[in-house]
């Protein structure tokens, strides 16, 4: 069974850091690009970042550039999102997805003082 499971979300104060993980199974992870997409409460989908299958190339939305870093470990079948200098507007459910076809269930990140 193909599965993506996000973890690492939580409640933290502005300026804090968090690392999200997305552990995958059931498909050849190393041959697929991966992305993180977020959804603020009551809002639409927002693409955050993407990484190539080999990890050599990555992209970021302007809203997170310079603060977030995407990475992957093809031996552990896991993609990560390191989030620094968090702001209230980063509050959202964070989903990982394999090329938009397979999605995890999401992990909630809340940034509040």
Partner 1 sequence: SYELTQPPSVSVSPGQTARITCSGDVLPKQYAYWYQQQAGQAPVMIIYKDNKRPSGIPERFSGATSGTAVTLTISGVQAADEADYYCQSADSSGIWVFGGGTKLTVL
Binding of partner 1 by 103 (CB under 8 A): yes
- Binding to partner 1 in span 48-77, by CB under 8 A: 50, 52, 57, 59, 61-62
**Residue linked to tokens 């964070």:** 94
Question: 108: burial class by Cβ within 10 Å (0-12, 13-18, 19+)?
Answer: middle
Q: For the stretch 51-60, what's the b/e string if a residue is b when 16 or more beta carbons lie within 10 angstroms of its beta carbon? A: bebebeebeb
Q: How far is the CB of 98 from partner 1 (least distance, A)?
A: 10
Binding of partner 1 by 46 (CB under 8 A): yes
Q: Which is nearer to partner 1, 104 or 109 (CB)?
A: 104
CA 58 → CA 8, 50, 89, distances in Å?
21, 5, 22
Binding of partner 1 by 105 (CB under 8 A): yes
Distance CA 72, CA 52 (A): 9
Q: How far is the CB of 11 from partner 1 (least distance, A)?
A: 20
**What is the rounded end-to-end Cα distance, in angstroms, of the chain?**
40
Q: Which is nearer to partner 1, 43 or 113 (CB)?
A: 43
Q: Which residues bind partner 1 (CB under 8 A)?
A: 33, 35, 37, 44-47, 50, 52, 57, 59, 61-62, 95, 97, 100-101, 103-106
């Amino acid at each position: 069974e193909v599965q993506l499971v996000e973890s690492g979300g939580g409640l933290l104060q502005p300026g804090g850091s968090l690392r999200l993980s997305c552990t995958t199974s059931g498909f050849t992870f190393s041959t697929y690009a991966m992305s993180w997409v977020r959804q603020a409460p009551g809002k639409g989908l927002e693409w955050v970042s993407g990484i190539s299958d080999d990890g050599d190339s990555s992209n970021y939305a302007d809203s997170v550039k310079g603060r977030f870093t995407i990475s992957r470990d093809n031996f552990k079948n896991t993609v990560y999102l390191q989030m620094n200098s968090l702001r209230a507007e980063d509050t959202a459910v964070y989903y990982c997805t394999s090329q938009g076809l397979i999605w995890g269930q999401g992990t909630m990140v809340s940034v509040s003082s």
